[in-house]
Amino acid sequence: MESSQSNGETVLVESLSSSTVQDSSAATDPPQPLPPHLSHDPENNLKRSDPFQFGSRLLSQEDNVFEFNAWDHVETDDSYKEYAELQYAKQREAPVSDFDKGRFNSDPAKWWNNFYKNNTANFFKDRKWLQQEFPVLSKITKPVAGPITLLEVGAGAGNTAFPILKHNQNLNLKIHACDFSKKAVEVIRENEAYNTKNIQADVWDAASEELPPGLEEGSVDVVLMIFIFSALSPSQWKQAVQNIYRVLKPGGEVLFRDYGRGDLAQVRFKKGRYLEENFYIRGDGTRVYFFEKEELIKIWTGKETEDDGVGSTGFEVINLGVDRRLLVNRAKQLKMYRCWMQGRFRKQVKPVPG
């Protein structure tokens, strides 16, 4: 499952002016020539390597925020935080009606099928950044990697699976691409690059009590979950985590990326979209949740913090980071904040004490 917002690309800033905070001083002052010493140093564009390689165009006090369209690792300023809290309050005051809650929650697959019917495969952009953010994806595609089973949960139109296959040199790599939507699976199977020797696409509900078709317990090396967990309701998280635990080999990894609380996509929701705290219905009927870091630690490990003792889920956190990005509309002097959560979770080799 994925949406037009789910691949983390920059949204069209011109269409979001009604949902952003305007820099009033910059808007009223006449534009001035930028002094050379305020010009951004290209050296700051080098990638980081720990724990993830998000971006590294870093904004300092000497930089002109409107010199570039985007800056990395920028914390939200006080005015935006205040604006966001006001938006959340308005959302809570005008939630989804009980009738619509039942309509959207009773058959979420219907809305995802409609989504993929209305958006062709060309609508989605390939996630070429994944191997940079998750180097293990490069390792498993090398000729000497050996037999590897990769499960992608929420495979959508195949915009993760097919780029991996395109660069794959491992004859023993098999990708199982599963999605909640029958239509999404059809799109994958109709792709000219689809070959059942290397990839198998199936319909699977990650929150069901069944394992994915063709997979047994302890048979998967790596699980990819990119903008899929947010499509589940909070009541489904526990079952989904249990299913991933069951299908993974001991020591197997989950590669995770999803929306973070305070992301522009959350702040801009209007009335009639609020299901429950941090959980919303999009205009196309699909659901989306916005996570906090501590919340994900508890979901995936059962611990309140990373420093607590042994968790209850059988997973441990390898890395968990917050990817923040400031987008700017230089023409309108607007600032917009994006926020995503990115993590690696590992199935513990030793059994969890009962």
The CATH number that applies at residue 292 is 3.40.50.150
Asked if residue 12 belongs to a domain, the reply is no
Asked if residue 54 belongs to a domain, the reply is no
Please, are residues 263 and 87 in contact by the beta-carbon 8 Å criterion? Answer: no
Asked if residue 137 belongs to a domain, the reply is yes
Asked if residue 139 belongs to a domain, the reply is yes
- The 10 Å Cβ neighbour count of residue 339 is 22
Containing H/E element for 299? Answer: helix 293-301
Distance CA(21)–CA(81), nearest Å, equals: 10
Per-residue tokens: 261:
């609380």
Say what the pLDDT of residue 77 is.
76
Say what the pLDDT of residue 121 is.
52
Number of domains in the chain: 1
Say what the pLDDT of residue 311 is.
74
Say what the pLDDT of residue 153 is.
97
Say what the pLDDT of residue 303 is.
79
Please, are residues 259 and 296 in contact by the beta-carbon 8 Å criterion? Answer: no
Asked if residue 5 belongs to a domain, the reply is no
Strand, coil or helix: what is 34? Answer: coil
Please, are residues 76 and 325 in contact by the beta-carbon 8 Å criterion? Answer: no
pLDDT tens track, the chain, 354 positions = 644 444 433 333 333 333 334 443 444 444 444 333 334 444 443 344 344 444 554 444 545 454 555 545 567 778 888 989 999 999 999 999 999 888 888 888 788 888 877 776 555 566 666 877 899 999 999 999 999 999 999 998 898 999 999 989 999 999 999 999 999 999 999 999 999 999 999 999 999 999 999 999 999 999 999 999 999 999 999 999 999 999 999 999 999 999 999 999 999 999 999 999 999 999 888 999 999 999 999 999 997 776 666 678 999 999 999 888 877 666 656 667 889 999 999 999 865 554
Cβ-Cβ contacts under 8 Å for 349 (sequence gap 6 or more) = 250, 251
Say what the pLDDT of residue 66 is.
46
Please, are residues 160 and 225 in contact by the beta-carbon 8 Å criterion? Answer: no
Angle between helices 108-118 and 182-190 (to 10 degrees): 40
Angle between helices 237-247 and 293-301 (to 10 degrees): 50
Domain that holds residue 181: 87-347
Distance CA(108)–CA(236), nearest Å, equals: 12
Per-residue tokens: 252:
């197997």
Asked if residue 130 belongs to a domain, the reply is yes
Asked if residue 48 belongs to a domain, the reply is no
